[in-house]
Structure 1
Amino acid sequence: MDGLANYRGWRWIFIVEGALTQVIAIASYFIIVDFPDRAAKTGFLTANEARYISHRLEKDRADSIADPLTLAKLKLHLSDWKLWIFSMMFLSTTVPAYAFSYFAPTIIRAMGYSPAIASLLTAPPTVFSCIVAIGFSWLADRYRLRAPVIAVQCVVCIVGLMLTAYHPNNNVRYFGFFLGAAGCQGNIPAILAYQSNNIRYQSKRAVGSALQIGFGALGGIIASTTFREQDGPKYVPGLWVTAGFQLFIMAAVGSTSFIFWKRNKQVDSGTAVKPIEGLEGFKYTL
C-alpha cells in the first residue's frame, strides 16, 4: 500500500514527460530543416544557397524533385533486396543500443554500486558514444567510405560486449560499456547513411526509411526478450546474442560492398547491362 501511495505521489512526472515529448514533436515539424526549396522559404537558406544545393543534389543523383509515392512504386521499391538488408542491419545495431539502455544499470549495480550510482554511471558511456559517432561520421564523409566505418564500429561493439561479459575486473567490465555503446550507437547514423547513399528517388527513400525505423523498433523487442531475468546479473546469453547481430552486420556490409564494387567496376568499364538505380553514371558508395 505504501508503494502504491508513493507511486501516486510521483507518477505526475510521466505526464509531464509525455507532454514534453509531444511539445518537442510538434515543434520539430517547424524546426527541422526541409529540402532546399522549402528551406529557402523559411529563411534557413538564401535563394542562391537553395539553388546551389538543389543543383548538387540533381548532379549527384537526379532526385532533387519529389516523386509521389504510389502503390505501384511501393511494390517496386519493396522488391529491392537492398532495402531489406539495410533494414536488417539497422535492426542489428539497435539490439545492443536498446540492451545497454535497458540493462546497463542492472549490470553495473551487480559490480557493487548502489542503485543511484549505477544509474549515474550509465551516462558517461552514452556521452562517449556521441563523441565517437561524430568522429567516425567525419571520417566517413571525409573519405567517402561507409562500409569500413560500419565494420570497425561492429568490432568495437563486440570487444566491448565481451569485456563486459567475461573480464574479471569490474573497472574493465565497465569500460566495456564505453566500447559497446560507442560501436552500436555510432552505427545507427552510419547504417542510415549507407542506405541513403545507395538508393535513389525520394519515394524510395521514404519506403526505405519506414522499413529501417520499423525494423529498428523490433530491436527493442529482441533486446527485452534475450536479456532474461534469470541470466542476470551478467546477462551473458544476451550479450552473445547482440554480438551475433554485430557479426551479421559485418557479413551483410561485406557482401553488399562486394556486389556494389562489382557493379561500380561495370559502370567504369562500360559493361553494365543497365544503369545503377536507373541513372547513367550513378555509382554505389562503398
Structure 2
Amino acid sequence: MVTDKLKSDETAPRSSRSPGDLDYVSRAAMGEKAIMGKFTKWWSDDEERRLRRKLDVRIIVISFALYFVALLDRGNIGNAKTAGMNRDLGISDQQYQWLLTIFYIAYIVFQFLLLGYKVFSPPKWIAGCVFVWGVAGVCQAAVQSWSGLMACRFILGVAEAGYGTGVALYFSFFYPRDEIGLRFGTFVSAGAVSSAVAGAIAYGLVHAHATIESWRLLFLIEGIPTLLMVPIVLVVLPRDVQSCRFLSAREREIAEARLFRPPPPPRRSKTEDGGRWTLKARFVDFINWGNAGAAFLDPLSYLISVMFFIINVCYSSVPVYLPTLIEEMGYSSINAQGLSAPPYVLAFLLAILFCWISDRAQVRGVFGAGLLVLAAVGYLVLATQTSTAARYVAVWMIVCGIFPFIPILYMWLMSNQAGESKKGVGLVVFGTIGQCGPLLGTRLFPARDKPYYVKGTSVSGGLLLFGAIVAALTSLYLWNINRRRDRQQGALDAAQKEGPDTAASHADTVEKGAEERDRRRIDVLLRGEESPYFRYTI
C-alpha cells in the first residue's frame, strides 16, 4: 500500500530516499487517506475554473505587466540611439556596444538571485527588484556621460536578473505542472508587446516638441510606470496559496490539493534560532539541495540552454538594432521607429497561438525547430538581398520566428523538470548559459558594416539553423527515452495481467485500475524524472 511505501521512506536513511522536492516525514504523517484524497477530485470543474481565473487575474496579469515594463527599460536603449542619444553624449559605436553588453554581463553574473523566490517572500522580493531597476531606468534620463549610462545599465541588469527567469519558479507555487506552460508563455510574450509599444512611443516622442531631448524623455516616460508597479506588487501578488486572501477557505484547499504537496514549512522569524535570523536558515528550510543538484547532472538542462544561447544571440540584437536596420534601408529615423512596431504585434499573437497549440499537443521541439528555420531564412534574406521590400519582409520573418520560440523554450524546460528546487537551479543553469548569447549578439552589428550588416545577419542565420537541428535532436532524444519506458512498462503490465487476479470482477478491475493510476501519479511526484512512469514532453 502507499502508506507502507511512505513509512519505509521515512525510516530509510536520508541519502537513500527518492529525489524530489517533498518532505517525506510530513508526507508519511498525512496517511493514506489524505494522500489518496489529493488525487480524488472532490471539487467541481466550475470551482476549478473559477479558481484558475482568480489566480490568473492576480498573478498572470501583474506578471505580464511587470515583464512588459522590464523589457521597455531593457530595450529602449536602441530607440534612444536613433533619437539622438549617441550624438548628444558623444558616444562612439564601440561605447554603444558596451552599453548593450554591460547589461547582460550583470544579468549573467547575478542569475543566482532568482533563488530569492525560494528564500524570501516573493512579493517583497519582486517589489525590491522592480524598485531598483525602476530607479536605474529613470536615472538614465539624467545621465551626462557614457560612464553614468554604463552604471545605470549595470544596475538594471542586476535587478532584472533577480526577477525575470525566476517567475517560472514563482508560478509553480500556485499552478500544477501541466498549467504552468501556457501561463509562462503568455508572460514571456509580453516581450513582443513591449517592443511594439516601445517603437510606437519612440515614434511619438520624436514628433513631440519638448524642452528636453527626446531620448531623455523616452527614458523618463518608460521608467516611471515601473516605479508605479512597486506598491501594486506588494498589495496584489500573494506569497503562496495560503496567503491568497482573495480565495475562500475552500478555494485555498482546492488550490493546495491541485498541487499535491505538503504546505511549505513556516518561515523562520527573527526571534528563532536563539534570537538570530540567518540567511543560511532560510536556505536550509526552503531548498532541497539533493533535488537542486540533480539539475546540474541533467543533460536536458544543457541542451535547452544551448538553444537559449542561440536564440539570445539574435533576440538581444533585434530590439536594439531593428530601428537601425530599418533606418539603413533608407527610412528616416522617425519612420524607422514607427516601422519597427508592427512586426511585434503579429509576433505576440503567434506566441500565444503556438504556446496554446504546443501545450495541447504536449510537443515543443517540432514547433521550435520550425520557428527557428523561419527566423534563419529571414536573416539570410537580410544578408543576401538589397531590395528594401524584401529586407522589410525579412524583418517580419525574424521577429515572428524568434519571439514565439522563447516562451516555448521556457515551457519545454519547466515541463521536463520535477521539483521546485530542481526547477530553480535548472533555471539558473538555463539563464547563465543562455544569457551569454547577448554578449555575442550585441556585437554583431558594428557601424562599419552598415548598411547591410552582412556579417551579423549571416552569423545569426547560421546559428538559428544550428539551433533548429539541436531542437530536432533534443526531441528525438526525449522521444527515445519515452519509447523505451513505454516498452518496459508494457512488459510489466503484460506480466501483471497473467497473474492470479485475472478472474477478478469488472468492478474489482476498475477499482484496482484507479488505485494503480493513483499509485503511478504519486510515484512521479515523489521521484520526478527517475520514476518509470514519468514521460518527457518532446
TM-score by length of structure 2 reads 0.46
Counterpart residue type for residue 42 of structure 1: R
**Cα 1:144/1:165, change in 2 over 3 Å:** same
Corresponding residue to 1:175 among 361, 369, 393:
393
Contiguous gaps of at least 5 residues in structure 2: 1-86, 90-141, 145-211, 265-284, 492-526
Deviations 1:52-102 (A, max 9, x none): 5554544xxxx6866932555443321222112212211211221221112
CA distance in 2, matches of 1:240, 1:120: 26
Question: Is 2:360 the partner of 1:142?
Answer: yes
Give the residue type in structure 2 aligned to 1:228: P
Aligned partner of 2:311 in structure 1 is: 93
> Cα RMSD over matched residues?
3.1
Q: 2:535 aligns with which of 276, 283, 286?
A: 283
Name the residue aligned to 2:383. 165
Residues in 1 aligned to 2:431 and 2:326: alpha-carbon distance in whole angstroms: 29
Per-residue deviation at 1:196?
Answer: 0.8
* Counterparts of 1:248 and 1:208, CA distance in 2: 23
Structure 2 matches for 1:16-165, cutoff 5 A?
17-24=222-229, 27-28=232-233, 31=236, 37-38=241-242, 41-43=244-246, 45-52=247-254, 54-58=256-260, 68-165=286-383
Q: Secondary structure at the match of 2:315?
A: helix
Which blocks of at least 5 consecutive residues in structure 1 are unaligned? none
Give the distance between the partners of 2:231 and 2:431, measured in 1 at CA: 19
The CA distance in 1 between the partners of 2:295 and 2:381, in whole Å, is 41
Q: Is the 2:418–2:528 Cα contact (8 Å) retained in structure 1?
A: no
TM-superposed CA distance for 1:154, in Å, is 0.7
Cα 1:190–1:28 shift into 2, 3 Å: farther
Identify which range, 137-146 or 193-202, moves more after superposition.
Answer: 137-146
After TM superposition, the structure 1 stretch with the greater mean CA deviation from structure 2, 255-264 or 69-78, is 69-78
Identity %: 27
The verdict on how the C-alpha distance between 1:12 and 1:178 changes in structure 2, with shifts beyond 3 A counting, is closer
CA distance change for structure 1 residues 52 and 226 in 2, over 3 Å: closer, same or farther?
same
Q: Distance in 1 between matches of 2:309 and 2:256?
A: 32
Q: Does the C-alpha gap of structure 1 residues 157 and 32 become closer, same or farther in structure 2, counting only changes over 3 Å?
A: farther
- Say if 2:419 and 2:528, in contact at 8 Å, map to a contact too: no
How many residue pairs are counted as aligned between the two chains?
Answer: 277
Offset from partner CA, 1:219-251 (integer Å, 9 cap, x none): 222111222222222112111222222123222
Deviations 1:188-210 (A, max 9, x none): 10000010111111101111222
